[in-house]
Every structure is written in C-alpha cells, then in structure tokens.
Structure 1
Amino acid sequence: MTTGAGDHSIVTRGLTKRFRGGQVAVDDLHLSVPRGSVFGFLGPNGSGKTTTIRMLLGLVTPTGGAWELLGAPMPGGIPAALPRVGALVEGPAFYPYLSGEANLRRYDAADPAADPRTASRRIALALERVGLSAAARKRYRAYSLGMRQRLAIAAALLGPRELLVLDEPTNGLDPQGTREVRALVKEIAADGTTVFVSSHLLAEVEQMCTHLGVMRTGRLVAQGSLAELRELNAGETAVVRVETPDTAEAASVLAGLGLAGVRTGDGEAGAELGAVAPERITAALVAAGVAVRGLAVRRPSLEDVFVGLTGEGFDVDG
C-alpha cells in the first residue's frame, strides 16, 4: 500500500474498533484513498462504515491501528488537518425556523478556525456552490429534502476543503434530490477536492465514484479503481440474449458465429458473447431472416463482484 502524503488523502493501517462486550465494529482496516478521487465506501448497513468515519474524524477513539488525514498522522494532527476537512455525518441538523443563510452563520460562528470578517463572503460562496443562492433567505423548514442535503454540504464547505467526507448523502432522498446531490459531488471533485462517500446504494456509488472500498462485517474485502474491481469478474463473460419467435434459427446463427454456450428457451435464444460484436450478431440474424423482437447484452456488473466478495447483495435503488 502506498502511503505517501502526496498521493493519498486518507490512509489507515490496521485501524480497529472494539466496543464493550467484545463487539468488533471495524477490524484491521487498511484503507488508501487517492487524492483527487471520489472514493465510494460501500457496504451493507451495519458493516462498519460510520464507525470508520467517526474514527477518521477523531470522534471515536480506535482500539488499535494508525491513520493519516491529508498527510498528517492522527490523532496528533487533528489541529492541522481538520480545518481542511469538511464532513457530513449521519444527516444534517439545522434550526427549522431560521433561513438557510442564518443557519450557516451559526455553523460558521461555532468554528474556532473561521474568520468572522470573511463570514458573509464565504457563506455566499458556499450557497452559490450548492445552488442555493436564490433560497438563502427561505426558512429551512420550507426546503425540500434535496435542498436540505445541499445546505448540509454547504456547511461542510464554508472554508477551503481538501477533503469532503459524506456519510450516506443520498439517504432518504427522492430521485430528484438524489440527482442533485450526485451532480454536486461531481462538481466538487472537479474542483480538486477529494470526496469520500459512504453508501449502501450500489447504483449511486457506481455513477459518481472513481474508486471504491467494499466493507463486510467490519472488514475491508476489496478496494481499488472501478476498472480494477471490474477485473475481478475476469472469469465471467458477457451474455447475449435474442428475443424471437424463431428460436431454432437464431440459435443456428449464434452457433455459426462461433459463440459458445448456445441455448434456447421460451421465445429466446442466447449464448456467451465472447469477442463477437453485438452489431455483427444483429446483422447476421437479420440476414438470415430471423424475426428479432429484441437483443440484449448483459455484462458482468460490479454487483456481481460484490455478491461474490460479500456473499450478499446491496441495495441498488437510487
């Protein structure tokens, strides 16, 4: 594991947390989060994600192991590192009868590292960054779920941040709110900030993250870039399925193209895709006079990887 401060925003070595009674929430965690990445910290509920985040931010004392934030050894480096880290852990908490802007003023006033002389400018910039400038004076209780989550992210961005830690940022949001937060995370990362996103929603993580770490019952079972994790499916192959009333003829065409595993079913013929391009299969079927009602290619997915690693599926709905 590379641990150079210039390469990683988060590094852990054997990070462990045991609670009273012997319960192990996080077990021997070796994590590396590249600088500039959108790192998805993925796992079922109860897998140790939030406990890990609390340890990283100094909110919970580890039982064992060591960690670094932005190159600073922790916990001694907390005064130097945390002012450069923004965090949203377990949902936002705001005063419902105050406006978004007024709530941010109270957040900023509570930060001993914040300069009160620049508060107005920084609050306006944070609201603009999350797309809430027009709603700055609207009461928080009138905000939609997506707006509330964006305001929480704005609170985490009141100062210059090199690392943004988000714990389940789309939890409980409707599809529109989910899209808003997803787009915001991508924009923040495009500005050079490392974003560490904890989630149990596979679809969300896959759409916005460049790197992933997969947790199961307190242990990290895999980590790497999306491409590296997809390579874990190297032993599997894509499958092509043809919906047609002419199943026998379709199967003959697939076999003639050299596809392996040709089979037929009720209104369907299929085979392993191999190296044959789907468009070549379509052209061959049409040329043979096969009535094609539909053609689909299923490739091994990250969900297949995770099921293989953890023995269970993840929530895939956004």
Structure 2
Amino acid sequence: MPSDSGAAIHTRGLTKEFGHRRVVDGIDLTVPTGAVYGFLGPNGSGKTTTIRMLLALARPTRGDITVLGTPVPRKAAQVLGRVGALVEGPAFHPQLSGRANLARLDAADARSDPRTSRARIDAALHRVGLSQARDKRYRVYSLGMKQRLGIAAGLLVPRDLLVLDEPTNGLDPQGTREVRHLIASLAAEGITVLVSSHLLSEIEQVCTHLGVMREGRLVAQGPLDELRARGRTTHRVVTADPERAVEVLVGLGATDVHRDGETVTARADGLVPETVVAALVGGGVGVREFGVRTASLEDVFIGLTGEGFDVSG
C-alpha cells in the first residue's frame, strides 16, 4: 500500500476481530509527520488495540499499515528501531536504579552500541528530567518519574516516532504536567508523537491533530483547529423588542432562533459577534445584553461519541 504523502503513520481499512467481536472496525488513520497526534476515545473504544497493531504486537484481521513509509507487520523489523513506545505502562525492576534499569534494556537491544551505552543512557535521563534521580531505586520513584523513565527507555537511540498509550494514566496533576511538558519538548525536537488518552484537557493542550474513536471506529480526525470549528456558536440577545431581534437574526442567516420572553437565542456559526451586534442596533433593536457561547471541544466530542470524556486532567 502506498503511504499517504507526509504521513508518519497511515492505515487503510484497519480491522481487528477477536472471534465474533470486532474491536477495530476499518479505520483509516493518518498521522502527519511532525505532528503531535492525540488519539482520543472512551476506555474500550479500540485505541490500545490499534496501537498494538501499529507496533506489530498484534496482527490485523484485515487492512494495511505503513509506519514511517514501511509496511507493518511485513517489514516491521526494518522500521521499529526508529519507533519508541510506551504501551500499557512501564515495567522495571523495583530494586534497580533508573540508570541500571535502562542499562539492562539497552544491553538487551541487539541494535544498540555498547560502547556508547552510558552516554546514551545519561542523555535519555537528562532529556526526561531524571538526571538527579538516576541513581535512586525505581521503587521510590513517583508515578510521574516512572512514566518519564518509561519514555526515556524509548529514547535510548534516536527515534523518528514516539507512541505513548495513556502516558498520564494514574498520575497526579504535577505528574501529568511533567509528562505534558516532556511531550511538547520532544515534538519541538522534530519527533512525531502519537499519544493515546481519554483525558481531553491534556490532549487539547499539547496536540496539533486529533483522532476520535468510538466503538472501534474512527469517527473524526484532523487538525485541532478544524475539529474545534465543528462546535456550534450560540448568540444570546436580551431586548425589549424580541420580535425585531428575531427578524434581524434570521436575516443574517442564523438558525435555530428561539424567543423566551425578552431573550432571543440563535445558532450563528461563522457570524462575527461585532457584525451581529451592529446589525441588531442598525435594525433598531435596543440591545440590553449580548453574549456568545461557543461549544467546547468536549461538547464536539460528546456529539461524536455519545459519551463523556474525563476532563479533570
């Protein structure tokens, strides 16, 4: 399958079935090179299964995958060395230090150079802000430190793509901020990042592109600003002349216009508030109050998935 131009990850019709249960249903995922792609969806929507297929940890029932221009799983061995991943939480020896744990992982990698191991380990620890804790035992690490060590393990050699499955799962607000800032710094270095999460507030702060899963299907994807623009904008006017306000709003192209006493509300997607107010005043409407409510990204995604997102962050 030819890869989508400029895509670090591209799938076509990607499907995974377990017996008669379809957990990923024909998705066409496109992660642009250089993007921070937020892979969103309620728990159980198929995100982790999709990630496992991208990393050749699970074989698709049907469909095609390219990662960094290489077909997976057929030629996974050729490309996965350029991919760092943290899937379903880090696992390290509790009695070993952070540095010693990374040394064990590096020694097990046939592609790594033992002559540069110490320097690369120290560089990875510095990159994730663990230089001062490198000799502490893993068992005394905070949850945020453990997550950052897991990311460091994926950065022991240069990577073009980093895949993080629920990297802030179980973290307190401080740990969540640490991981968020780390993702932003990695993206600034030119690494493409795919981050799966159900924490909408965190995804919204760090990502440039989003994909939304629902019951195994990819119901929306694209640049963050484009998905935000799908939200509806409601204008609210309080006036002593609501009948005339309704006429002006309808004339401007507003829809779903409703009157409740002296209050008029209308859906006015694409209409600039200044233009609306000027038209009302120019039409002889005495405006006592005027307000605008734009649907949040959460509102957009609830509309797409039919379910809420954890926005506590």
Report the TM range for the smaller structure's normalisation. Answer: 0.7 to 0.9
Alignment counterpart, residue 178 of structure 1, candidates 161, 164, 176: 176
Structure 2 letter corresponding to 1:126: A
Q: Residue 78 and residue 240 in structure 1: after superposition, are their counterparts in 2 closer, same or farther (change >3 A)?
A: same
- Indicate conservation of the 8 Å contact 1:169/1:181, yes or no: yes
The answer on whether the counterparts of 1:251 and 1:263 sit within 8 Å (CA) in structure 2 is no
Which segments of 5 or more consecutive residues in structure 2 lack a partner in the other structure? none
After TM superposition, give the deviation of residue 306 of structure 1 in Å.
1.3
Q: CA deviation at 1:230?
A: 2.1
2:7 corresponds to which letter in structure 1?
H
Partners of 1:140 and 1:27 in 2: how far apart?
Answer: 39
TM-score, length-scaled by structure 2: 0.85
**Following TM superposition, by how much is the alpha carbon of 1:231 offset from its aligned partner in structure 2, in angstroms?**
2.9
Corresponding residue number in structure 1 for 2:83: 85
**SS of structure 2 residue aligned to 1:232:** coil
CA deviation map 1:142-177 (0-9, x unaligned): 111111111111111111000000000001100000
1:75-119 CA-partner distances (Å, limit 9, x unpaired): 222121100000000001111111111111111111111111111
Aligned residues: 295
In structure 2, C-alpha distance between the alignment counterparts of 1:2 and 1:228, rounded to whole Å: 26
Counterpart of 2:46? 48
State whether structure 2 residue 6 is matched by structure 1 residue 10: no
Shift of 1:253: 9.9
Q: Is the 8 A contact 1:251 1:262 kept in 2?
A: no
> Among the aligned pairs, what percent are the same residue?
60
Residues 1-318 of structure 1: matches in 2 within 5 Å? 3-4=3-4, 7-20=6-19, 22-233=20-231, 236-239=232-235, 251-252=239-240, 271=265, 274-277=271-274, 297-318=292-313
CA displacement at 1:269 relative to structure 2: 6.8
- Aligned residue in 2 for 1:246: none
| CA contact 1:16–1:29 (8 Å) conserved in 2 | yes
The 2-side partners of 1:191 and 1:9 are apart by 15
Please give the TM-score of this superposition, normalised by the length of structure 1.
0.84
Q: CA deviation at 1:313?
A: 1.7
For structure 1, list consecutive stretches of 5 or more residues without a partner in the other structure.
Answer: 242-249
Is residue 3–residue 32 contact of structure 1 (8 Å, CA) maintained in 2?
A: no
Paired AA for residue 311 in structure 1:
G
Q: CA RMSD in A?
A: 2.8
Q: 1:296 to 1:175 in 2, by over 3 A?
A: farther
CA separation in 1, counterparts of 2:264 and 2:179?
Answer: 39
1:258-281 CA-to-partner distances (Å, cap 9, x unmatched) read 77868779xx97855752249x89
Cα distance change, pair 263–178 in 1 and its aligned pair in 2 (3 A): farther
The answer as to whether partners of 2:15 and 2:61 remain within 8 angstroms in 1 is: yes
